Structures are given as structure tokens and as C-alpha cells.
Amino acid sequence: MTKTTSAPVPVLGTRALNRATLERQLLLRRSPLSAQAAVHHLVGLQAQNVRPPYYALAARLDGFAPEALSRLMADREVVRIVTLRSTIHTHTAADCLTLRPLVQPARDRELASFRTGLAGVDLDRLAALTRELVESEPRTMAQLRAALSAEWPDADPQSLAVAARCRLPLVQVTPRGLGGRSGQVALTTAEHWLGRPAGPAPQPDAVVLRYLAAFGPASVKDMQTWAGLTRLREVFERLRPGLVTFRAEDGTELFDLPDAPRPDPDTPAPPRFLPEFDNLLLSHADRTRVVPPAHRGRHWQGNQAYRTLLVDGFLAGVWKLDGQTMVVEPFDALTRQARAEVVTEAERMLAALHPGVSYDVRFGTVRT
């Protein structure tokens, strides 16, 4: 009797994972998608500050103009709200109303760490009072702290404000987030701002598939890192019959959509300038597909993240705007050709995001 053996699981090397992820992230070649379609495909953009979503889309979309995203915000087609990993993201209105319920368990866990400052506080009453306050008119966090502290004077004011943010889906209203304009953070509920109720939390199965489409191939831990959720193994197991699997070089099992693009590892990857906190660098437990081990942690200092440069698809430096000069600080010496390609990409991005403004591009000292 002949014993059958299963075929070995294919191994995806670092460059194969890099090129696949760049393709899903619209960074291997610029996409013709609209800004709204891109925000949907990418399942949101990190948005701790106002500018990052604009830089993120400029790196990814063909012909992107800042007005495209500003118009979506002004028309309430996209919003800024705390969702994944307890960080502010720019989401489509539809994703705002569904993804926030999905990640609510993570917000509940976050709230538990503030229990000492919330002793004696009725959280249901706090949520009801907060809703009444912010739906009567948008409120700043300072105004929320003051109003809630008047109700619970013995509680920690910051804990009260965090509790309000955790219990309710609070969006940042415009003009905050509009390109070329400033505005302090003022909050109201997503339902009030968008004029419709939140939907039920989506099945995690559907969100896993969207994550793989935008970030795959990926492991269970990768997905959990991106979402800030736990216990997703059973979801992947439920989906396994419809997925394909691979192994990373360290043996980690990776899942993917059968028809998702997995380009040749030698596919050229042009330079790209990314904002601080770009999801490309934050959405996997193992980030070596983008961050070489030698450069791990070099785009951070304390809690501060730098804007980053990709060369050949990998983290290769940081950049900043100093007046009307872009300063590029590579981590290693670049070849003459790579420097020329970096300058060309810098000029393209600056022209798209700052039309009519003349910028110089110079290279700073190699960061050691």
C-alpha cells in the first residue's frame, strides 16, 4: 500500500512578502483608485495628525490632489475616529459605523486600565451624559473633562474623558482634518455627525478577508496586531478551506486569498515617501517584510515617529520639511541612481501636495 504525503507548504522569503505587501498597499505602482476607494481598500489610514493621510494617499494614488480628501471630509464621506489599536484613523463613513463596533472589546479593555480614576463612576450614566453634551454641540476634550468632572468631582478628569471616548464612537468634526486648514479637536458621535445609526459589528471573517487583501500574506498574530484584537485563531481556522497557506522563513504560518497578487520578488519597487505612523509599518507582528533588522526602531525616538523613506521597498531613511526644503536622511549610503530616483519621487510628491510652492530637496547626513 502506497503512503501518500501532502505537498510541502511553499515558503515566502522576505522579498516575496515585501513585494506582495507593497502591491496590496498600492505602493508598488501608483493606483488609479479614487481617494474614497483607496481609504476603503486600505481599511483606513493612520491619522494621529492632520497631514499623514494626505501623504499616505499621495504616495499611493496616481494624480492625487489634497482637495480630494478634504472634500470627502467636508461632505462627511470619511471621518476621523479612534478605532484600530486605539489610534485615530481616517475611515470611510461606512467603515466608521461598523469597524468601531468590531473593535469595541479592545476599547473596553483599555477602559479597564483606568478603573482607579473612575471609582464610583456609573459608566452608563457617563456615556448618556457625554452623548447629550456632544450631540448638543461638538465639544473639545477639555470641555468634556470639565463637564464630566462637575458631575463626578472625585474622579480623575483624564480618566473621565478617556471613558467617554471608549464608551462612545466619537468623531473629530471638521474643520479638523481638512487640508490647508487648522482646527482644534472637537467631538461628536459618529451617528450624529453622519446622520444614521451605527450598524452591527461585522463578522470578523469579513474583516480578516479585507485585512489579507490590504496587508497579506499574513499570520494570525499579524492580523491581531493590526486590529488590536485577540482570539482570532478560530476565525482563520473557519476560513482556512477558502484560503491558501504559506510559511515564512522562520516557519510562521501565513494565510492569503487565493487570487491575491504575489509579484515576483525581483519586481522593481520605486522609492516612496510615507508619513509618520503609516500602517505599512505598523500592521504586522513581524515587520521584517518592510523594516530590515538593522533598521528596527530607527524611525522612532521615544513616542515620536519620523516620516519614512522606502528604497527598493524597504525602510531606508527618514525625511522632514524644513521651511521650503525637504531633508532626506538615509540610514545607509545610497547609490547615485537611487539618489536620483529619490529626488524625482520627492519632487513629484511635493508638487502634488504643495502645488505652486518651490521646494529644494537635499540629503542630510547618513543617520548612523
- pLDDT, position 151: 95
Tens of pLDDT, residue by residue over 307-332, are 999 999 999 999 999 999 999 999 99
What is the distance between the alpha carbons of residues 337 and 319, in angstroms, rounded to a whole number?
19
What is the distance between the alpha carbons of residues 338 and 318, in angstroms, rounded to a whole number?
15
pTM here?
0.94
Tens of pLDDT, residue by residue over 133-172, are 999 999 999 999 999 999 999 999 999 999 999 999 999 9
Cα torsion at 151, 157, 194, 74 (round to 10°)? 130
Tens of pLDDT, residue by residue over 241-266, are 999 999 999 999 999 999 999 999 99
Roughly how many angstroms between the first and final C-alpha of the chain, as a whole number?
62
In the predicted structure, residue 334 carries a pLDDT above the cut 90: yes
**Cell for 207?**
474583516
Tens of pLDDT, residue by residue over 35-61, are 999 999 999 999 989 999 999 999 999
Residue 190 pLDDT class (50, 70, 90 cuts): very high
Grid cell 525581483 is found at 266
* Residues contacting residue 240 through CB under 8 Å, at least 6 positions apart: 255
The torsion angles phi and psi of 61, rounded to 5 degrees, stand at -110, 140
| 360 strand-pairing partners | 325
User: Where do the DSSP E strands lie in the chain?
Assistant: 11-12, 45-46, 78-82, 88-92, 170-172, 187-189, 244-248, 253-256, 272-274, 300-301, 304-305, 307-311, 314-322, 325-330, 360-363
H or E element in which residue 162 lies: helix 157-167
Contact 45, 52 (CB under 8 A): yes
Write down the mean pLDDT value for the chain: 94
- pLDDT, position 6: 65
